[in-house]
């Protein structure tokens, strides 16, 4: 009886271990990111020398549009700004060109590196981090932007 019980227990263990787990499907960010993402929240948290300092709701950001060809538009309440983008494993780099204004001034070119916190068919959350040292203090900024499609 004990021998039969042992054989049954070993068989159950082997059957339980032999099941292969199905890996999560690979998400192609280059395909999933394409489309118009409407801003639902844009919050900036700043620490000063490691201590909580300020939290801001950033107004005026309307949407991000990613096109199939690696270009896009970021729309603010005061107008659009176009960019080219590249996608890494869990990040997006938005590369903005210089803008020349009629009065002779210009908006400089710059790159905005965004870490992808999460993405699904209807929601996108990205993080932008930045450090600035001013008057001997280190200001660390974490901006969390949330979007819906």
Q: Would you state the pLDDT for residue 115?
A: 97
Q: What is the CATH number of the domain that holds 52?
A: 2.40.128
DSSP states along 16-77: HHHPPPPPPPPP-HHHHT-EEEEEEEEEEEEEETTEEEEEEE---EEEEEE-TTSEEEEEET
Q: pLDDT tens digit string along 86-133?
A: 999 899 999 998 888 889 998 889 999 999 999 999 999 999 999 999
Residue 19 has pLDDT above 60, yes or no: no
Residue 11 has pLDDT above 80, yes or no: no
In a domain, 10, yes or no: no
Number of domains in the chain: 1
- Whether 102 is in a domain gets the answer yes
What is the band of 75 on the pLDDT scale with cuts at 50, 70, 90?
very high
Is the Cβ–Cβ distance between 120 and 139 less than 8 Å?
Answer: no
pLDDT band with cut points at 50, 70 and 90 for residue 5? very low
Tokens standing for 82?
């176009």
When pLDDT is cut at 50, 70 and 90, the band that residue 8 belongs to is: very low
Q: Is residue 97 part of a domain?
A: yes
Domain annotation covers residue 8: no
Residue numbers of the domain that contains 83: 27-148
- Residue 37 near residue 148, CB atoms below 8 Å: yes
The residue ranking higher by pLDDT, 12 or 137, is 137
Q: Does 82 reside within a domain?
A: yes
- Residue 107's pLDDT is what? 85
In a domain, 117, yes or no: yes
Q: Is residue 129 part of a domain?
A: yes
Residue 66 lies in a domain: yes
* CB-count burial class (<10 Å; 0-12, 13-18, 19+) for 124: buried
- The per-residue pLDDT for range 38-55, each reduced to its tens digit, is 999 999 999 999 999 999
**60-72 confidence digits (pLDDT tens):** 889 999 999 999 9
> Are residues 55 and 41 in contact, defined by beta-carbon separation less than 8 angstroms?
no
Asked whether the CA dihedral 54, 59, 65, 71 is positive or negative, the reply is: negative
Q: How far apart are the first and last CA of the chain?
A: 62
Kindly compute the dihedral angle of the four CA atoms of residues 26, 29, 34, 39, in this order, to the nearest 10 degrees: 110
């Amino acid at each position: 009886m004990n021998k039969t019980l042992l054989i049954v227990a070993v068989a159950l263990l082997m059957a339980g271990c032999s099941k292969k787990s199905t890996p999560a499907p690979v998400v192609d960010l280059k395909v999933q990111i394409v489309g118009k993402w409407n801003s639902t929240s844009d919050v900036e948290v700043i620490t000063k020398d490691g201590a909580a300092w300020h939290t801001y709701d950033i107004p005026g950001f309307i949407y991000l549009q990613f096109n199939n060809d690696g270009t896009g538009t970021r729309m603010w309440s005061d107008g659009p700004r176009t960019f080219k983008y590249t996608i890494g494993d869990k990040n997006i780099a938005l590369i903005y060109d210089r803008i020349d204004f009629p009065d002779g001034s210009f908006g400089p070119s710059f790159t905005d590196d965004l870490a992808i916190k999460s993405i699904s068919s209807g929601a996108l959350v990205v993080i932008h981090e930045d450090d600035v040292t001013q008057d001997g203090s280190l200001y660390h900024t974490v901006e969390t932007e949330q979007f819906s499609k």
